[in-house]
Amino acid sequence: MSTKKVSEKLPKIHEQSTFDLPDTPAITVSQSTGRKRVKVIIGISFITIVIFLTSLNYFLHYEQKQRDPILTAEKKQASIIAKVSQLIELPSNENPTIATVSDITKLKGQSFFQNAKNGDIVLIYPKANEAILYDPAANKILVTGPIASNNQAAVAGASTNALSVSPTPILVNVALYNGTTIGGLTRKIQEELTQTMPSVTVVDNANASRQDYINTRIVDLTGKSAAAAQQLAKVLHGSVGSMPSNEAVPTDADILVILGKNQ
């Protein structure tokens, strides 16, 4: 009797084992695959976001450049003015019109541009009646001169976004007096003026009545060369003043320059 009861329970034990064992591995594989899929999706999403943000940044930068060329031009002009101001004193009460020489062949015959080349820059100050030719490659002033006319017109052979004035230097005769003990100073200054102000002709080199001038003085002898006198004052770092009573008035000169020790 006891043996029969045991054999009747055995099929139930076997049936329970057959049902439980296969489920555990199936659950483990499903969870691992799900995690891998999530990681892949996150990775692709991250890459997509990076590409999108990079493209958006490039697009906005490109659009800004396309829609704001004036700002770029203003920055370039400000850079030019800053460089030129380190070489020569510039008018402080106005912004210049800036043009770039693009075809030097169209400027032949104009003394102001006789030493110019393509790529040189012209700064024009209508109110101050002043024009400056600047060589950006060599970072030097090629020539300065007054403007004959205040009428606005395009500079021949130059490319610019604004209107400018055509600089035509006024020819003046200048006498140089050495007001210092520095030997050969007038000859040195004459050579410099030949390069920077071709509209100036030096007609006299002499010593001043005294050699203790500290600052260079420019005198408009005829009263008709105020613009050229102001320009000389800027180039020579001097000031325009009256004729000293102890100095001899030079003949055939429109302007007298008494050189001081500041040279």
| pLDDT tens figures, 214-223 | 999 999 999 8
Are 216 and 237 spatial neighbours (Cβ–Cβ below 8 Å)? Answer: yes
**C-alpha to C-alpha distance for 128 and 198, rounded to whole angstroms:** 19
pTM greater than the 0.85 cutoff: no
* pLDDT score recorded for residue 174: 95
In the numeric block, which tokens belong to residue 111? 């003394």
pLDDT, tens digit, 9 for 90 and up, residues 1-10: 444 444 444 4
**Res. 180: pLDDT tops 50:** yes
The string of DSSP codes covering 8-61 is HHHHHHHHHHHHHTTHHHHHHHHHHHHHHHHHHHHHHHHHHHHHHHHHHHHHHH
Instruction: List, in sequence order, the alpha helices (H) in the chain.
Output: 2-20, 23-67, 69-85, 185-196, 226-235
